[in-house]
Copies of this chain bind each other. A is one copy, B any other.
Amino acid sequence: MNAGYFGSRSEEIKAFLRSHLEACVEEFSFLNRWGKDLPARIGAFARGGKFIRGGLVFLGHELAGGRPGETTLKIAAAIELLHSAFLIHDDIMDQDRMRRGMPSVFWQFREEAHAKGIEESEHYGTSMGICAGDCALFIALRLISSADIPDGVKDLVCRESYAIGLAQMADIDYGTFSRIPSEREILDLYLWKTARYSFSLPLSAGAMAGTANEELVSALWRLGESMGIMFQMRDDELGIFGSENAIGKPVGSDIRLAKKTLLIAITLKRLDPVSRSELTGILGRRDATADEILRARRLIETSGARSELISRMNALAAETGTMIDALVAPEDSKEHLRSLVDFIRTRDR
Contact = CB atoms under 8 A, between A and B. Distances in A.
Interface stretch (A27-35, A201-209, A212-220, A333-341): A27-35
Given A138-B161, A145-B155, A161-B138, A127 B31 contact: no
Interface in A121-157: 123-124, 126-128, 130-135, 137-139, 141-142, 145-146, 151, 154-155
Nearest to A121: B176
Given A93-B127, A137-B134, A167-B32, A151 B146 contact: yes
B142 A145 contact: no
Contacts of A113: 176
A163 interface: yes
Contacts of A24: 162
Copies in the complex: 2
Given A158-B141, A159-B142, A188-B32, A130 B89 contact: yes
Contact of A127 (B134, B172, B188): B172
A138 to B, nearest CB: 4
B137 A137 contact: yes
A8 to B, nearest CB: 30
Contact of A172 (B92, B131, B158, B176): B131
Q: At the interface, is chain A mostly helix, strand, loop or mixed?
A: helix
A146 B154 CA distance: 9
Nearest to A130: B89
Nearest to A168: B131
B151 A145 contact: yes
A3 interface: no
B165 A92 contact: no
Contacts of A119: 176
Contacts of A34: 166, 169-170
A38 interface: yes
A38 B158 contact: no
B124 A163 contact: no
A305 B305 CA distance: 72
A176 B188 CA distance: 42
A91 to B, nearest CB: 11
Contacts of A151: 145-146
A45 interface: no
A101 to B, nearest CB: 24
Contact of A165 (B131, B155, B188): B131
Given A38-B169, A137-B137, A146-B151, A28 B163 contact: yes
Given A93-B126, A113-B176, 12 more contacts: A28-B162, A28-B166, A32-B170, A89-B130, A93-B130, A118-B176, A124-B172, A131-B165, A131-B172, A135-B165, A138-B159, A145-B158
27 contacts: A28-B163, A31-B166, A31-B167, A31-B188, A32-B166, A32-B169, A32-B170, A32-B188, A34-B166, A38-B166, A92-B126, A95-B123, A119-B176, A128-B169, A130-B133, A131-B169, A131-B172, A133-B134, A134-B137, A135-B169, A137-B137, A138-B158, A138-B159, A139-B162, A142-B162, A145-B145, A145-B158
Shortest beta-carbon contacts, A-B, top 9: A142-B158, A135-B165, A93-B127, A138-B162, A34-B169, A32-B170, A145-B154, A118-B176, A138-B161
